[in-house]
Chain A
């Protein structure tokens, strides 16, 4: 099974900050990597798929990069509605999620 490891597990940031979350796969997953956002008490929402493709209606301040085993999600200027938990997901072999990164208000 492919294990997905996210870091950090949580971070504190201020509105306007640039934030980067990383996700590492236990083996090469090429670009089969997606990112989801889950606001407190809400349903997960697809942000980015295939490592860098922005889902419809997702703001352009979100971006994804990486391939192989190392990936990142960047929020260029953190907005109040971006405080949430972010999950990566591999879809190369079956599917599995990372443990999540909670982005909290500083």
Chain B
């Protein structure tokens, strides 16, 4: 069955960096665009970034543009989110999610999430 398993979350000081990973199984990895979506504690969903199925196209929310980088490694069936210059407002559960297709932005399967806490 489809599995998306995030890892790499933790507590980090403001201004530091962190890399999240999302290991995919049960899917043809190169057939789907993949997304990161975050949810601050007690708040709603905020889309963060998307990468196309072949990794050539990437788009970001304005709130993270220039600080976060999304990437994927087809040899490892893994999605990444490199986060730099972290701010307290970046504190959230970060979910990876599968696009329904190559670029629909319809998120049909979600991982369990990994918590990132930015605090001094």
Q: A residues engaging B (CB < 8 A)?
A: 1, 34, 36, 38, 43-46, 49-50, 55, 87, 89, 91, 94-100
Contact = CB atoms under 8 A, between A and B. Distances in A.
Contacts of A44: 37, 45, 95, 107, 110
A44 B45 CA distance: 9
A95 B44 CA distance: 14
Contact of A43 (B44, B100, B104, B110): B110
Interface residues on B, range: 20 to 34
The 6 closest A-B pairs by CB, nearest first: A91-B105, A95-B105, A97-B45, A100-B44, A43-B110, A49-B106
Nearest to B95: A43
Interface string B51-72: 0000000010010000000000
B97 to A, nearest CB: 8
Q: Is the interface of B mostly helix, strand, loop or mixed?
A: strand
A87 B105 contact: no
A89 B50 CA distance: 15
Nearest to A1: B62
Contacts of A99: 44
Given A91-B104, A94-B59, A95-B105, A45 B110 contact: yes
